[in-house]
Amino acid sequence: MHFELLTKDPNTRARRGRLHTAHGVIETPIFMPVGTQATVKSMTPDQLRDLNVEVLLCNSYHLFLRPGQETVARLGGLHRFMGWDRPILTDSGGFQVFSLSSLRDITEDGVRFQSHLDGSTHFLSPELAVDVQIALGSDIMMILDDCLAYPATHFDAEHSMKRSLAWADRCHKHWAGATNALFGIVQGSIYPDLRRESAERLVAMGFPGYAIGGLAVGEPKPLMYEIIDQVEPYLPEEMPRYLMGVGTPADLVEAVARGVDMFDCVMPTRHARNGWLFTKDGHIVIKHSKYKEDPDPIDATCGCAVCQTFSRAYLRHLFIANEILSSILNTIHNLYFYLDTIRRIRQFIEFHRFDEILTQTRRTGAH
């Protein structure tokens, strides 16, 4: 993997780059749709390609449990298994360790957890987290980290951060020589001293990319932005920066302004299945009765195939009738909206006018 920094906005820390991988080039800033179990729910690979999705995120924790990384490897790797010929980033399972806290026990050696599928017991070490992702064949892998909920005391955050650093070192040593890229993850909760120590020690290990983890876990938005501001100066300019699990379209704009290159979030796809649709003027909830006879598209300014073809009334009918097509069309629209937002962000950076889209986003409080 190779990251190419193309230009920077003169008025903010926004960056325009290009990430070269074995399965294609990723233009940055980039938004990665989440295909947790080797699929973006309700979407085919061809539909994703039609939307010009450049990279997908899959989750190694879920694929480790079902169907198993060895099965995927025997079937030609994750790309062939899911019929996706473009780049894939895999998460290590650290966030699932956090979100399924009732089913796991963390030690300094790794995580012992019960499967949420059948209750079987497993142990995930930093080394196994790397081995699983290598077997899957993803282009970009993540270290195993310890993600804390918000709020956390400084004592707990320091202990968690140091555990994550120890795991990062083990992941790095086990990964050495593999062709897949491995990203380090900065932890430290809301504490600037811990975030700085985490970033500096990860950079000293020498990863080809760095992520900011432990955000979007309940902290207020201004605090999240403040933490990004605190971490960014300690991350190498020549390496990609990835903000994990974030966020709304407005979050993308704010984080890009702070020097972030990569994003993922379940929001556009999960919200689509629940009838929450993004527009330039905010969101609409399509099940509301006021849309029963509404002939307008979701967003008259949107260029997606759904807005060019279907009315709000039809989309409401599909949702109320619990038709599968509802999830499909809603997901197409929401993903298009996110991807179009990130394309516009890239264009504004290229023309050194990113501050315009930033000002507009802050003025309207959009999305």
The gap between the terminal CA atoms of the chain, to the nearest Å, is: 33
In this structure, the number of other CB atoms found within 10 A of the CB of residue 137 comes to 22
- Return d(Cα 8, Cα 19) in angstroms, integer: 15
- Identify which has the larger pLDDT, 115 or 40: 40
Burial string for 218-241 (b: 16+ CB within 10 Å, else e) reads ebeeeebbebbebbbebbeeebbb
Contact 23, 366 (CB under 8 A): no
34-66 pLDDT, tens digit per residue, is 999 999 999 999 999 999 999 999 999 999 999
- The mean per-residue pLDDT over the stretch 192-211 comes to 98
Question: CB within 8 A of 196, min separation 6: which ones?
Answer: 188, 230, 231, 234
> CB neighbours of 169 closer than 8 A, spacing ≥ 6?
205
Distance in angstroms (rounded) separating the CA atoms of residues 142 and 184? 7
Q: Tell me the average pLDDT of the chain.
A: 96
**Percentage of residues of the chain with pLDDT beyond 90:** 93
24 to 34, 54, 142: CA distances (angstroms): 18, 8, 19
Reduced to 3 states (helix: H, G, I; strand: E, B; else coil), residue 355 is helix
Taking Cα atoms as reference points, which of 150, 149, 98 lies closest to residue 124? 98
pTM over 0.95: yes
Average of pLDDT values for 135-162?
Answer: 96
Rounded CA separation 289/167 (Å): 51
Does the pLDDT at position 366 exceed 80? no
Residue 364 binned pLDDT confidence (cut-offs 50, 70, 90): confident
Report the pLDDT value the prediction gives residue 367, as an integer from 0 to 100: 52
Q: Just list the catalytic residues.
A: 91, 264
Main-chain phi, psi angles of 366, to 5 degrees = -70, 140
* pLDDT tens per residue across span 222-271: 999 999 999 999 999 999 999 999 999 999 999 999 999 999 999 999 99
pLDDT value at position 342? 98
Structural domains of the chain in order of their starting residue, each with its CATH number: 2-264 (3.20.20.105), 266-367 (no CATH)
